[in-house]
A = this chain, B = another copy of it.
Amino acid sequence: MPRIRHERFDCSPGCTVEGTLRYIDGKWKGVVLYHLLEGTMRFNEIRRRIPNCTQRMLTNQLRELEMDGLIARKVYAQVPPKVEYSLTPRGRSLEPVITALKVWGDANVTLAPEVSQAA
């Protein structure tokens, strides 16, 4: 962990907005949380849903989300390895936020053609 996360928020009043943003900041965290809203998932299951995210990045994002107490990581001591990720209650409490992001995005974000139309 390269930085101490959220050690303090020295911004002006009203910036809990900014504070929240820092939790879901990071290129893939929003999507990860969004997918986890559907339920518990294994590492590669999440990976397959976010094909453009490299393995290393996904690991990073999951670790940060875990450190922030938003997701839980459960390791099964077996081979091949099995690790399950799920939202914590705190993570689930972000649902309105994620939903708001989704709603706005659906209405306002134009996806790349090959995504919104093609395979």
Count, chain A residues at interface, CB 8 A: 52
| Given A9-B109, A93-B108, A108-B93, CB of A30 within 8 Å of CB of B50 | no
List, in ascending order, chain B residues with CB within 8 A of A52's CB: 10-12
Is A100's CB within 8 Å of the partner chain B?
yes
Cβ < 8 Å to B, chain A residues 71-119: 90, 93-94, 96-115
Asked if B97 and A20 sit within 8 Å, CB to CB, the answer is: no
Is A43's CB within 8 Å of the partner chain B?
no
Which residues on A are within 8 Å of B, measured CB to CB?
A: 6, 8-21, 23-25, 27-28, 30-31, 33-35, 49-52, 90, 93-94, 96-115
Q: List 17 A–B pairs whose Cβ atoms lie within 8 Å, in order of A's numbering.
A: A10-B114, A10-B115, A11-B50, A11-B52, A12-B50, A14-B34, A15-B30, A15-B105, A16-B102, A17-B33, A20-B101, A20-B102, A20-B109, A21-B30, A21-B101, A93-B104, A94-B104
